[in-house]
Chain A
């Protein structure tokens, strides 16, 4: 176990190093000069040169990368070029909406997706299974923002069940917080439910023909217990893997959903930062997102042995 953990941590560190290098080069290779952007349109060449040397932009790339990497490790993400506030503070302010939306989406889609998949596996080619085929074909094909505007048009503008857009912090008004998040959560969950339900179904189908399931049926275990206890426990590992891999997909969806519903989260932050060429923010958000993805997948890898004790490292 310890051996595995060390190996896994080292490969995680290597992935993060490569991501860092990629993000670092992406921004240094760009045609725009950050110093000129900070200085503004009216700056003289001397001012720009001053800013360049202050930011260390004249040093060799390797030196710049080492310094940059060290700062990231120490969570010193620098200041926004535009608002001059520390990037960490800006990220902190935008974290709550994004985490609320992602967490609600995960809760909704994992619970619905797993149950849907199990029920579809109960009778292959049955009504539930066929409806899942249709649902997943649509779920994978309808883009997040198209689904979003359909839901807004029907449920917010037409039926007036929900507010059209916006976000209220949870500590201000929890009821408004949840009503404003319901539509975005459903929007973002549609494709994720399809993904989880499909993998649950195919993983369940593989398990359902095993001997121990037949034994359980023969000794009269209720169907619900067989499906949700005996079979699902053994079908769980691939489902967990897909949930982990889907996190990157989820983050992409969050950015678009935040734009559709005008939610001031991390997604809006980076879209605005990209329009302003606010390099420290772009770097901060990219590193944060890939860090979250890598960390979640590490935790998922380590938790396999919890659902399936046969897996040991």
Chain B
């Protein structure tokens, strides 16, 4: 990673995003497993209509039917195909997870950069972030969803807000440590204006840690969506999502465990894939962190 000439010490001290060679990547099992698992799950979600039947079709004759060659994962209490519902449910999870993680990262980045650079912004905004962090994610999100009457847009906002502080704090800490480095001082001496320093000199240092963090934010967003749908405050019941499938099938757990476990395992696999990918990227950009 480190180049041999002494010049690199003048540059940003945070691990940079360097090209990750294939051989290095293959020695990083977390990166490989995470990527493969995630690609497989995304492919299932994207090609859902080609792979699976109608997730909404009711068939009273196959109520609570066991998994068989015809019905891969059996049927639920309304006779709906659990495999089709699980595959289609992945779409909602991915969509809501990615959308809220994306928004959280954009807002967190803006807040973090401003807070790291300006003391006045820092004092107020970081207390606000402390406040948001002190409210339990799920409670805050259900309160917002229930009060505003629901809908996917509100759901994305409700999941996004609790994720902002972790991004803002991370970016702020990178900005604080970067702005004291010689190359930033040099830019200030050379007369660069604040926006230019922020965008050209400080922003690039935040990229590598931010990519790692965004994987964790995404995993948290998917978990929150599932939790909200499970509690009945998330995706409306007519759209199959992993959380509301488990919620609807849970009282049939003793007779039809597949209708609870299929979406449950899919959900855990999705979160696991995103987490592994995050760990994998972190190890790739900063090999020292392997131990953590």
**A residues adjacent to B (C-beta < 8 A):** 11, 14-16, 18-19, 22, 26-27, 29-32, 124, 137-138, 140-146, 149-150, 152-153, 157, 198, 202, 205, 245, 248-249, 251-252, 255-256, 259-260, 270-271, 274-275, 277, 282, 285-286, 289-290, 293-294, 297
Would you give the shortest CB distance from A168 to chain B, in whole angstroms?
Answer: 21
**Of B140, B143, B226, B291, which contacts A143 at CB under 8 A?**
B226
A271, B231: Cβ atoms closer than 8 Å: yes
* Docked-complex contact B128 and A18, CB < 8 angstroms: yes
Contact status of A157 and B268, CB under 8 A, knowing A141-B275, A255-B231, A274-B233: no
Which residues of A are found within 8 Å of B127, using beta-carbon distances? Answer: 11, 14-15, 18
Q: List the B residue with the shortest CB-CB distance to A152.
A: B253
Residues of B with Cβ closer than 8 Å to A? 127-128, 130-140, 142-144, 146-149, 219, 223, 226-227, 230-233, 246, 250, 253-254, 257, 260-261, 264-265, 267-269, 271-272, 275-276, 279, 291-292
B268 touches A146 (CB 8 A): yes
Q: Closest Cβ of chain B: how far from A259's Cβ, in Å?
A: 6
Say yes or no: A15 contacts B149, CB within 8 Å: no
In the assembled complex, the Cα of A274 lies from the Cα of B228 at a distance in Å of 12
B257 proximity list for chain A (CB < 8 A): 153
Q: A205-B291, A274-B233 are in contact. Are A150 and B264 (CB under 8 A)?
A: yes
Contact partners of A260 in chain B: CB under 8 A: 250
A104 CA to B149 CA in the complex, in Å? 36
Query: How many angstroms between the C-alpha atoms of A249 and B275 in the bound complex?
Result: 17
Q: Which residue of B lies closest to A140 (CB)?
A: B275
Q: How far is the CA of A157 from the CA of B261 in the complex (A)?
A: 14
Main secondary structure, interface of A, reads helix
* CB-CB under 8 A for A19 and B131, given A157-B253, A274-B146: yes
For A141, what are the chain B residues with a Cβ–Cβ distance below 8 Å?
219, 268-269, 271-272, 275
What B residues does A157 contact at CB under 8 A?
253-254
Closest residue on chain A to residue B135 by CB atoms: A290
Residues A248 and B143 in contact in the complex (CB < 8 Å), given A145-B230, A146-B264 = no
- In the complex, how many residue pairs between chain A and chain B have their CB atoms under 8 Å apart? 148
Additional 14 contacts, C-beta under 8 A, given A19-B135, A138-B272, A142-B272 = A18-B128, A18-B131, A22-B135, A26-B144, A30-B148, A32-B147, A140-B275, A141-B219, A141-B272, A157-B253, A251-B136, A259-B230, A270-B139, A286-B140
Q: Give the distance to chain B from A255, nearest Cβ to Cβ, in Å.
A: 5
Cβ–Cβ contact B261 & A150, under 8 A: yes
Q: Do A137 and B227 touch across chains, with their CB atoms under 8 A apart?
A: no
Q: How far is the CB of B138 from chain A (nearest CB, A)?
A: 4
A259: chain B residues within 8 A (beta carbon): 230-231
Q: B227 — nearest CB in chain A belongs to which residue?
A: A256
In the complex, the answer to whether A252 meets B138 with C-beta atoms within 8 Å is: yes
| A152 smallest CB distance to B (angstroms) | 7
Kindly state the separation between the CA atoms of A271 and B267 in the bound complex, as whole angstroms: 23
Residues of A within 8 A of B279 (CB): 137
B275 to chain A: which residues have CB within 8 Å? 137, 140-141
CA distance A29 to B250 in the complex (A): 34
A205 cross-chain contacts in B, Cβ below 8 A: 291
- Bound form: Cα–Cα A16–B133 in Å: 11
The reply to whether B143 and A15 form a contact with Cβ atoms under 8 Å apart is: no
The smallest beta-carbon distance between A139 and chain B, in angstroms, is 10
Give bound CA distance, A22 to B223, whole Å: 24
CB distance from A249 to the nearest CB of B (A): 8
Contact A202 B292 (CB under 8 A): yes
- Closest A residue, CB atoms, query B260: A149
In whole Å, how far is A32's beta carbon from the nearest beta carbon of chain B?
7
B49 → chain A, closest Cβ, in Å? Answer: 26
Smallest CB separation, A19 vs chain B (Å):
4
Q: How far is the CA of A27 from the CA of B140 in the complex (A)?
A: 11
Taking the nearest CB of chain B, how far is it from the CB of A28, in angstroms?
Answer: 10
| Chain B residues whose CB sits within 8 angstroms of the CB of A255 once the complex forms | 136, 138-139, 231
Question: B147 to A30, Cβ gap below 8 A?
Answer: yes
B272 contacts which chain A residues (CB < 8 A)? 137-138, 141-142
